[in-house]
Structure 1
Amino acid sequence: MINTGVASFAQERRVRVVAGAPHPGHGAPHPALRAKNVPLLCRLPERVDVVALSAAVRALVERHPVLQYRFLHRDGRVSLRWAGAGVADVECAVVDRSALGTADGAVRAFLRAQVDAPFDLLGWPLLRAGVIQDDRPLFYLCADHTVCDGWSMTVAMRDIEAAYTGLLRGRTVELRPPGDYLRYSAAQRRRYTSGPAVERAVDGVRAMLAGRAVEPAFPLPAAPWDAEHGRYTEFDLLDAAAAGRLLDYCRSRRATPYMAVLAAFGVAAREIAGRAEVGVLVAMHNRDERHTADSVGWYANMLALYFPTFPVDRFDDGVRAVRDRLMRLLVFAELPLSRVADDLADTNDNGAGVRFPTCFISLTDARTPPSAGGSGRWEQLDLAPSYRMGYGLWVVLHDTGLRAVTASPRTSAGVASLAGLESRIADVLRSAAVPATA
């Protein structure tokens, strides 16, 4: 085991900001912004063997190198040092459901507290796990975004479930060899530190932005924002039948459901705020290869997507516009935003997440694969990440339909705008998913 490693561009940038050494164009972060945690929430079929579950969480740490290192920040430099000798101390916390009381929302409030609590970014480990013990227990895991992304939590659930099941049955469950984020990080450094190819890519993104901010601001009038507290919502967009019709609609137009969601967001922003163009951050997961698909780490790259908005009666035009802009953006999918943000930043506008909220939208397909045969025993549930740096909309395609969760700083003046936005997005998608015979 090597004792040191190199941080990725994204890791280095986050550590520097949180550690209090701001990048150009960024002020010191509000303390509430230090928590940028990615959660996993699962419902289990029966009461948990906590000893076995703790061992399964330790197996996750032992399996993925990125979880075994701590960050060092000295003289403006960020490095990694192996801390995995302490893996034996990693435990799964347990609380009985009855201890949380009977008040409505008590369980959700407890889970939010676990997810929202910031990690000491220079400490270790940068994850916590626990279980709410009950006849159908809830298992939660959250990690600082610096060591994982949303895809990583799906990998983590598979790995922990397999290890836990194997321990209960007294046998090892074989999994494919995982990728190593540290190797990915080192390769990223070699590829994107400098050189003509990097300069051409940066110039290409600069031309595409055409003076727009690298980190798009939330486009609706919802200020002032209160970063001390979070606003979290959950709502259904489409039932299973309507979601199926939306998929048919998208296929007929060579589009994806994500493009339809973005176009619906554009309709809502146009109607509520009069915006002829909006910008959002989109995630490029960069998980196309086996060694990244099965690995825990911060592989997702973020890039700014700007697109024109259209009224609802021209929704097809909106979908086409989103598709066109998104396809052009995909050329730069592997160019780390954290590497080029300072090169591209207009210091008068950059710094979203410090001075004003960003806007982030994602869509995940969580439908059960046909090959799974319904054998999954752990049911993954929706839980918004800790996200106070902006307005985040996470849309998930389930077997039961299309569902959304949001996270943002709390706002008093903007409650009506946010609620109207979310309601209108749902309305627009329902209108796109009307039956073909209607």
Structure 2
Amino acid sequence: FAQQRLWFLAQLNEGSTNYHIPLTLRLRGMLDRSAWQRSLDRVFARHEALRSVFVATQGKPRVEVLPPDAGLPIVEHDLRERSDAQAALLDLRHEEGRTPFDLARGPLIRGHLVRMSDEEHVFLLTQHHIVSDGWSMGVLLRELSQLYRAFEAGQDDPLPPLAIQYPDYAAWQRQWLSGDRLQKQAQYWRSALAGTTRLVLPTDHARPAQQSFAAATVPVIIDADLTRELKQLSLQHGTTLFMTVLAAWAAVLSRLSGQDDLVIGVPSANRGHRQIEELIGFFVNTL
């Protein structure tokens, strides 16, 4: 279902890069490039989600899986002799972020290995959200690290085989969330959200007619003393720290908007089964 949503959005906004997941790694020390490429190829072969492409026939998408020996595409750049190496790296990052994926051809993961000096490389890895999520990034980094250490030392693949693959989960989800169960779930949310209005906040400028995705960040620092007090408050009420802070956030939004009926979307990892904790794939959902 998650992949279906993103596939629909990709058709709606063709060539969009809004759902790229970028990762920048700084690799220090002498890099065994053969072991690094082998590690990347092994992760690519290990997870069917990363090898998935989405082919549409008469407007209906289906998943095809690229062969495990296809290899993860890597482009190498050598900036050692460039006086403007940092600026060139920034240009590469921006260009990579602006380059769309072809969901029908794939692969939906790609990398650039940038050599800054003999003992420093920068690795730019980009995935499409349709095959990965935030939790998956942790899985990918952990496996890359284990594989590289093993291959650099001349050892075999140390990772245990996966019990299931993402397509197994997708097929199970389709079967489980159907019929009466699907109707009950849908009816619950229709009832729960009935009559709610969108959040109206006082802003300096009117919302533009077309969403641009241009954004900025505002850092909020919660110091150690306040964190300790929040944890104590959570303990007293039998809630998690997250639940307490979310309640505070709801109170802030209510004060700013003057509304007392708020709908707040919260991303959930959505990995309620042990077998899928070690998978790379698009599991995250918004509650």
TM-score relative to the length of structure 1: 0.56
For residue 18 of structure 1, the aligned residue among 10, 21, 25 is: 10
Aligned positions of 1:280-319 closer than 5 A:
280-303=264-287
Q: Which residue of 1 aligns with 2:44?
A: 61
Deviations 1:389-412 (A, max 9, x none): xxxxxxxxxxxxxxxxxxxxxxxx
Q: 1:239 to 1:176 in 2, by over 3 A?
A: farther
For residue 103 of structure 2, the aligned residue among 89, 99, 121 is: 121
Matched residue of 2:264: which SS?
A: strand
Aligned positions of 1:249-398 closer than 5 A:
249-303=233-287
Q: How far apart in 2 are the matches of 1:234 and 1:41? A: 22
Deviations 1:48-78 (A, max 9, x none): 3333222211111100011122111111211
Matched residue of 1:67: which SS?
A: coil
Deviations 1:333-379 (A, max 9, x none): xxxxxxxxxxxxxxxxxxxxxxxxxxxxxxxxxxxxxxxxxxxxxxx
Q: How far apart in 2 are the matches of 1:163 and 1:125? A: 21
Please state which structure has a larger fraction of its residues in strand: 1
Matched residue of 1:125: which SS?
A: coil
Q: How far apart in 2 are the matches of 1:166 and 1:67? A: 22
Aligned positions of 1:170-319 closer than 5 A:
170-178=154-162, 179-192=164-177, 194-212=178-196, 221=203, 223-224=207-208, 227-228=211-212, 230-233=214-217, 235=219, 237-239=221-223, 242-303=226-287
Q: How far apart in 1 are the matches of 2:51 and 2:37? A: 16
TM-score relative to the length of structure 2: 0.81
Q: How far apart in 1 are the matches of 2:223 and 2:80? A: 30
Q: 1:102 to 1:78 in 2, by over 3 A?
A: closer
Q: CA RMSD in A?
A: 3.2
What's the CA shift for 1:17? 3.3
- Counterpart check, 1:80 vs 2:63: yes
Matched residue of 1:84: which SS?
A: coil
Q: Is contact 2:44–2:50 with CA below 8 Å preserved after alignment?
A: yes
Structure 2 runs not aligned, ≥5 long: none
Q: 1:199 to 1:107 in 2, by over 3 A?
A: same
What's the CA shift for 1:153? 0.8
* Aligned length, in residue pairs: 282
Matched residue of 2:253: which SS?
A: helix
Q: Is contact 1:119–1:144 with CA below 8 Å preserved after alignment?
A: yes
Aligned positions of 1:99-178 closer than 5 A:
99=82, 101=84, 110-134=92-116, 135=119, 137-178=121-162
What's the CA shift for 1:114? 2.9
Q: How far apart in 2 are the matches of 1:140 and 1:202? A: 40
Deviations 1:309-333 (A, max 9, x none): xxxxxxxxxxxxxxxxxxxxxxxxx
